[in-house]
Amino acid sequence: MIGDMRGIWGHLPEFGVALTVTLWLSAVAVPIAAALGVVLVLAKTSASRLVRILASAYVELFRNVPGLVIIYFVFFLLPLVGLPLSPFVCAVIALAAQHAAYFCEI
């Protein structure tokens, strides 16, 4: 039945946990992304042509790759190179890396 809300009410505690994790993830990833975005802005306005090209390439790459793909790469590839991290830390790294590119452009 389309209008049946009984199933949703039974999962309300999980929604609370998901909200808490999302708020913590945002609280950690956004300041890191902002700081990295400032570094990218400084790099894009650098006197060195190589630094400007590398910063522009980073921004274009991370703005044009979907966030879920970045999360998958961080989550599945970092353990392959010897960096086993928790899912939360992987999410922070991926979101901060992508949003830093957006902060740089802003």
Domains contained in the chain, number: 1
pLDDT > 90 in the chain, percent: 83
In a domain, 74, yes or no: yes
Cα–Cα distances (Å) from 82 to 71, 77, 89, 90, 104, in that order, read 17, 9, 15, 14, 30
In a domain, 18, yes or no: no
Which residues are within 8 A (CB) of 63 and not within 5 positions of it... i.e. 6 or more apart?
98, 101, 102, 105
pLDDT at 38 over 60: yes
Question: Which is nearest to 62 in space by CA: 49, 78, 74?
Answer: 74
Residue 69: which domain range? 28-105
SS3 2: coil
Q: 68 is written with which tokens?
A: 């879920």
pTM over 0.75: yes
Determine the Cα–Cα distance for residues 35 and 37; give it in Å rounded to an integer. Answer: 5
Tens digit of pLDDT for each residue in 53-81?
A: 999 999 999 999 999 999 999 999 999 99
**Better-scored residue on pLDDT, 76 or 5:** 76
